[in-house]
Chain A
């Protein structure tokens, strides 16, 4: 596609429910990042994929968070048993290769009530 696409744009969920956030990167982009941004805060790194390999997941807050990119293109970030503190804007970014410019998606605004 022309840009990085994320869905849904908005997600409101009850505490304790699981959510899955989708990122569709630019076609051919090898590197894919997930990060989240709480209101008034700077973005926080979550995890990184190189093709289908999740090379760095050191930013995932705890084991309720997981991500996959099984075919090296679309990625899914899953949050199990959501908590109110998970509320944030979740963005993904993709890049043709390491060291190249990143294109960010418009994000998924997650609200846990």
Chain B
């Protein structure tokens, strides 16, 4: 069964500090992995998307890594800001039995930045 597991479930850090969120997956066959940021009551917004051949991708203070061999990804946030408080969702895209792309969502990490 395709699964995406994220850790930690929740994280509280001081403003200005760095943090790293983890994502492990068992989706196969693998197409790509995306990290989304979801503010409370809003839809998810894409941060990064990585295919099999990409090991790292940055978007401002967000840097995602991917190890397709161990099926692990991380999202590193540098110099956190209060606006980074949100849920961060790891989404892995595979190919379904029907030949279409199928997204499997992690349960997310709830990040809270405190001043």
Task: Give the B-binding residues of A (Cβ under 8 A).
Answer: 4, 31, 33, 35, 41-45, 48, 50, 55-56, 58, 91, 93, 98-99, 101-102, 104-107
Residues of A within 8 A of B104 (CB): 45
With A50-B100, A55-B98 as known contacts, state yes or no: A43 contacts B105, CB within 8 Å: yes
A48's contact among B32, B45, B102, B108, by CB below 8 Å, is which? B102
A99's contact among B31, B45, B98, B108, by CB below 8 Å, is which? B31
Q: What distance in Å separates the Cβ of B18 from its nearest Cβ neighbour in chain A?
A: 24
With A101-B49, A107-B43 as known contacts, state yes or no: A42 contacts B89, CB within 8 Å: yes
A55–B100 CB distance below 8 A: yes
Residues of A within 8 A of B105 (CB): 35, 42-45
A sample of 13 inter-chain contacts (CB < 8 A) reads A41-B107, A45-B103, A55-B98, A56-B100, A58-B96, A93-B43, A99-B31, A99-B93, A101-B49, A102-B103, A104-B45, A105-B43, A106-B43
- Contact bitstring B36-47, A, C-beta under 8 A = 1, else 0: 000000111110
A45–B102 CB distance below 8 A: yes
B60 close to A (CB within 8 Å): no
A91–B43 CB distance below 8 A: yes
B115 close to A (CB within 8 Å): no
Interface centre among A35, A41, A56, by most B CB within 10 Å?
A56
Q: What distance in Å separates the Cβ of B5 from its nearest Cβ neighbour in chain A?
A: 10
Q: What distance in Å separates the Cβ of B59 from its nearest Cβ neighbour in chain A?
A: 12
Q: What distance in Å separates the Cβ of B3 from its nearest Cβ neighbour in chain A?
A: 11
With A45-B103, A45-B105, A101-B49 as known contacts, state yes or no: A56 contacts B43, CB within 8 Å: no
